[in-house]
Chain A
Amino acid sequence: MMVAVEKDKGDSLMEGDNVYIPHVMKIEKVIEETQNIKTFHFNFKDETQKAQFSFKSGQFAEYSVFGVGEATFCISSSPTRMDHLEFSVMRVGKVTQAIHELQEGDEIGFRGPYGNWFPLDSIQGKNLVFVGGGIGLAPLRSLIWNVLDNRDIYKDIVILYGARSPADLSFKYDLEAWDKDDRVNMYTTVDRGDESWTGRVGLIPPVLEEIGPSPENTVAITCGPPIMIKFTLQSLEKLGFTHDQIITTLEMRMKCGIGKCGRCNIGNIYVCKDGPVFTYSQIRNFLSDEF
């Protein structure tokens, strides 16, 4: 079974546009997910721009705080819900710190969407297994909501989400909604519990093996920290998933987001325009292991 992952063909850009000029967008809401992750709801200031904008789950953009600089984040909301857009940011450095200081009503620069997307067409009619760790749920939740908004065209859905501790769980409102949704098999786990935690305790890979989803007519989609991905891939292989049945996203340092600045390559593959979404078989065929 082939899951086809496409390349970014640059069609989000209109004739005559300067690709480096960001849209000025307004922050509408700030959600404190954990002590170092925040989610921002944001919107176009201009209604025409808003109406023209479209994206697909899995794509990313370059976000900027004017005067501080740009950084790369996925669009974490679903294209089926275009009332506003969302992105979620873990505070790790200069730009992410400045983003964390933003408040409702503040403005950001936004250019995109860039990169390829999850192969919505080729996962139709299949069972889906989503495996997310920490902030890695951000790109996945875009796809999950996209799928749930068209629930009928997919088969069984399993979502497994894990974080280091209960305090590190992001998107708790989503986790609750999916937990209540009887069309979804939702599993949440933490590496270490605390006094009040009554849920599952355990690392994602063993929990995944315990749940044991069948690879029959199934696609697994996983995002999270590199170490989690590494062991999750091994667990999926153990469960009988072929490399074509596994989709993940890769992260490399980016600046331009459009294949020009030269830093996001793994061999001849430029993650910003050939990715960030890849099947595991593609990754295994890369000419370099520098990721």
Chain B
Amino acid sequence: MGYKKIKKDQLNTFLSELSKDYTVVLPSRSGGQVVFAPWDGKNTDFLDWYKNTIIPPKALFFPPVEEMFRFRKGEEGYEIEELMPDKRQQIIFGIRPCDARALKIIDMLFADTYKDPYYLRRRENSLLVGLSCNEPCDTCFCASLDISPGQSEDVDILCTDVSDNLLIEAISEKGSNLLSEMSGLSDAGSEEESKAKEMRKSAKEKIARQINLSGLQEKMRSNFENREYWEKASKKCMACGICTYVCPTCHCFDINDENRKKEGKRVRSWDSCKFPLFTRMPMENPRHEKWRRMRQRYHHKFEYYPMNFGTIACTGCGRCIRECPVNVDVTEIIGGI
């Protein structure tokens, strides 16, 4: 299927048609933040201001707080009621190529060995409609990680903002099937196609920040025991954990019970390797010191994850750089090794 297009001022009709069968979530402003939220049925102005969300789209599949099941003590003892996400199909409209890649990366973990039913159920019931980045932020370094801001193999449909039009391209079979059912789309001309290609190229060129991955694993290995390096790198870190919450590939969690008298829920919530309690054991704590936790985060992403899953667990989205209150910068830390 070739490129389709729709006039940007017709996007509303397109989204309404999608909303019949899907819950459409897209970038919206809420409490001064940009978040993915169910579409209000009206606004499409995000095209004018949207760069990326603070909270990454992982939250749509692996929510910050997930109620896993309910337990209740009855006559016959404890009864358990599984709390699975509902089966309604959702469309994530406007996901950026880096964030779509991040989902591919954490898919490997959640689908590995013991399948994670909550995450996988939401993934199966979702369709990703990507939106190319025309204007990357100065904190982005996705290009170093083999991700193109303008292109993606990790979405079902990819949209590119080309002046008055949105150029629409089916990437997966699921995406292609969906597009073939949509009315209101017209075929794009070769002029628009080449315009889109140009924009993608120029977006990639605009990415100034880089990290050098060549020989990185070996370098990290030999630097592992360089305590001085990690102490210096972690000096200003306050162990607030923000970098891990905003990271689209950080997946660590905690499991706790909430209860009132004879009933309650088991809940899982985002956790962070930056917190000293994360690995605390009765008699000891292998990562009590802050520099060890700093080292763990980067080695996990750039050494252990590649060893275990064959891919680096960083997409260069730059969120951790933007949101860190004390300007800890992953590109500096990796670059300095």
Contact = CB atoms under 8 A, between A and B. Distances in A.
Interface residues of B, number: 51
Nearest to B80: A21
Interface string B61-78: 000000011010100011
Interface string B297-308: 001100110011
B224 A288 contact: yes
Interface in A62-85: 64, 66-70
A253 B281 contact: yes
Contacts of B224: 287-288
B304 A267 contact: yes
B313 to A, nearest CB: 11
B73 A66 contact: yes
B257 A67 contact: yes
A255 B255 contact: yes
A51 interface: no
Contacts of A69: 255-257
Contacts of A263: 252, 271, 273, 278-279
B253 A259 contact: no
A13 B117 CA distance: 12
B80 A262 contact: no
B109 interface: yes
A74 B226 CA distance: 36
A52 interface: no
Contact of A268 (B77, B251, B303): B303
Contact of A68 (B252, B257, B281): B257
B256 A268 contact: no
B77 A260 contact: no
Interface stretch (B153-161, B235-243, B284-292): B284-292
Contacts of B279: 252-253, 263
A8 B113 CA distance: 8
B254 A255 contact: yes
A286 to B, nearest CB: 11
B297 to A, nearest CB: 10
A45 B76 CA distance: 10
Decide if the interface of chain B is mainly helix, strand, loop or mixed. Answer: mixed
Contacts of A92: 282-283
A273 B266 contact: no
A195 interface: no
A290 B287 contact: yes
Interface string A249-278: 001110110111111011110000100000
Interface in B105-163: 109-110, 112-118
B219 interface: no
Contacts of B73: 66
A280 to B, nearest CB: 19
Nearest to B304: A268
A93 B303 CA distance: 34
B16 interface: no
B280 interface: yes
B251 A67 contact: no
B264 interface: yes
B221 interface: yes
Nearest to B220: A287
A200 interface: no
B327 interface: no
Interface centre among A20, A26, A45, A255 (most CB of B within 10 A): A20
B300 A260 contact: no
B292 A260 contact: no
A291 interface: yes
B78 A20 contact: no
Interface in A34-70: 45, 64, 66-70
A199 interface: no
Contact of A262 (B252, B257, B299): B252
A10 interface: yes
Contacts of A18: 69, 82, 84, 117
Given A66-B71, A92-B282, 18 more contacts: A10-B113, A13-B114, A20-B118, A24-B80, A64-B266, A66-B259, A67-B257, A67-B259, A69-B256, A70-B266, A252-B281, A259-B114, A261-B252, A262-B253, A262-B271, A263-B279, A268-B307, A290-B292
21 contacts: A18-B69, A19-B115, A20-B69, A20-B268, A21-B80, A26-B77, A45-B77, A66-B257, A69-B255, A92-B283, A226-B283, A253-B278, A259-B114, A261-B254, A261-B271, A262-B300, A263-B252, A265-B296, A265-B300, A268-B303, A268-B307
Give the top 9 A-B pairs by smallest Cβ distance, nearest first: A262-B252, A67-B259, A92-B282, A268-B304, A10-B113, A258-B114, A290-B286, A268-B307, A19-B114
